[in-house]
Amino acid sequence: MAVRPVLVLPDPFLQRPSVEVGRIDADALALAADLVDTMRSRPACVGLAAPQIGVGLRAFVIDVTGHRKARSCAGELVLFDPRLESAAEPLVAREGCLSVPDLTGDVARASRVVVRGVGTDGAERVVEADAFEARAVLHELDHLDGFLFLDRLASAHSVYRRKVYR
Amino acid sequence: MAHFAVTAVGADRPGIVAGVTGAFVGLGCNLEDSSMTILRGQFAMMLVVDAPAGVGAAELDAALVAPAEALDLVVTVRPAGQEGAGGSSEDAGSWTVAVYGADHPGIVHGVASLLAGLGVNIVDLSTRVVGEPGAPAYTMVLEVTLPAGADPRHLGRRLEATAAELGVTCRLHPAEADIL
């Protein structure tokens, strides 16, 4: 398992919708391990989606453990073929992305979501997330559809140069 | 490559951005960062352009004469370094300051003078006068960067004291982004 390079803007791969993983085989588990290792290698990173490491499959990892804005916390959560079941209560907050390293932006996202997917054990999982964990889920789901936070900015003046968080 | 800061201000109408940027395209300049906004019908743009060798402020000025006349714009061009002296990677983080209250002269100056005295750099600011003509309310939002080692709690207390003198409310909160 390995820390993989993270694709950054303007890599066109980030705009490509990913395809279903299907059966959870050894390759899928290797992808999950790489996602976790790569996320853990970056300070303050709480989520990573497969397209960010150049894999066009619908899989992501999040872990908001210990984050001061988190309420719900599923711990280290790898989901394959996730689908959003419901989303409610939008809130605007500033977020950044390893794939857009120079900018941050104010983005409105639902603060209560239910997401259904398949875990690393091959079993279906239904996760209810709120607050910061909900934001993380939605940010990673966007990556699977080829969207970045830049596609969700609240306004033309909602984008900022990031210089102190690197 | 040389960088130039260009500003243009004029009564808002369609075609200002197209007209001004057309002058840059004609000279082979590349647009880098820009910010544009409209205040009470006045459109203002500020851009940093990267000019190829042989294109200087005089050439940019000359190319902007035609769109400035056609669109009734006041245009300025000045050489710009890569970075100003305002902030550095040593900054103690970005903070947002919200100020609001009954409108009267001196609010911006009072808050900005306090910040300047503490070495705090204002990187973004917008103000709006709202409410009824007889009882106007003033709102100001600033994004600031603190110098290295500065204590945000100290800044918060100084801001509250200044706000009390000015008869307004002033609050400070971190403008942190979460990396997802």
pTM (predicted TM-score) = 0.85
Amino acid at A59: A
Confidence of residue B82 (pLDDT cuts 50, 70, 90): low
pLDDT at site B155:
95
Q: Torsion over CA of A91, A96, A100 and A106, rounded to 10 degrees? A: 40
pLDDT at site B135:
87
Please check the confidence at residue A161 and state whether its pLDDT lies above 90. no
B86 touches chain A (CB under 8 A): no
- Would you say how long chain B is, in residues? 180
Per-residue pLDDT reduced to its tens digit, B9-37 = 999 999 999 999 999 999 999 999 999 99
A140 is catalytic: yes
Quote the Cα angle for A19-A21-A26, to 5°. 145
Amino acid at B44: A
Cβ-defined contact of A95 to B177 (cutoff 8 Å): yes
Q: Give the pLDDT mean for B138-167.
A: 93
Distances (CA, A) of B148 to A128, B89, B93: 41, 9, 8
Please check the confidence at residue A145 and state whether its pLDDT lies above 90. yes
Cross-strand partners of A159: A105
Cβ-defined contact of A69 to B87 (cutoff 8 Å): no
Are B174 and B95 spatial neighbours (Cβ–Cβ below 8 Å)? Answer: yes
B179 touches chain A (CB under 8 A): yes
pLDDT at site A31:
98
Please check the confidence at residue B83 and state whether its pLDDT lies above 80. no
B93 touches chain A (CB under 8 A): yes
Are B159 and B111 spatial neighbours (Cβ–Cβ below 8 Å)? Answer: yes
Mean pLDDT over the full length of chain A = 94
Cβ-defined contact of A165 to B37 (cutoff 8 Å): no
Please check the confidence at residue B87 and state whether its pLDDT lies above 60. no
Cβ contacts (< 8 Å) between A141 and chain B: which residues? Answer: none
Cβ contacts (< 8 Å) between A164 and chain B: which residues? Answer: 89, 91, 93-94, 145
Cβ contacts (< 8 Å) between A69 and chain B: which residues? Answer: 178
pLDDT at site B85:
54
Please check the confidence at residue B94 and state whether its pLDDT lies above 70. yes
Rounded-to-integer distance, Cα B41 and Cα B11, Å: 6
- Per DSSP, A98 falls in state T
pLDDT at site A165:
40
Please check the confidence at residue A38 and state whether its pLDDT lies above 70. yes
Instruction: Go through B90-110 and write b for each residue having 16 or more CB atoms within 10 A of its CB, e for each that does not.
Output: ebbebbbbebbbebeeebbeb
Rounded-to-integer distance, Cα A58 and Cα A80, Å: 6
Confidence of residue B86 (pLDDT cuts 50, 70, 90): low
B12, two tokens: 């808002």
Confidence of residue B84 (pLDDT cuts 50, 70, 90): low
pLDDT at site A164:
47
Mean pLDDT over the full length of chain B = 91
Per-residue pLDDT reduced to its tens digit, A87-116 = 999 999 999 999 999 899 999 999 999 999
A157, two tokens: 């003046």
Pairing, β B178-179 against β A77-97 = parallel
- A150-155 contacts, C-beta under 8 A, 24 or more apart: A150/A100, A150/A103, A150/A105, A152/A105, A152/A107, A152/A108, A152/A109, A153/A105, A153/A106, A153/A107, A154/A92, A154/A105, A154/A106, A154/A107, A154/A108, A155/A106
Percent of chain B with pLDDT over 90: 79
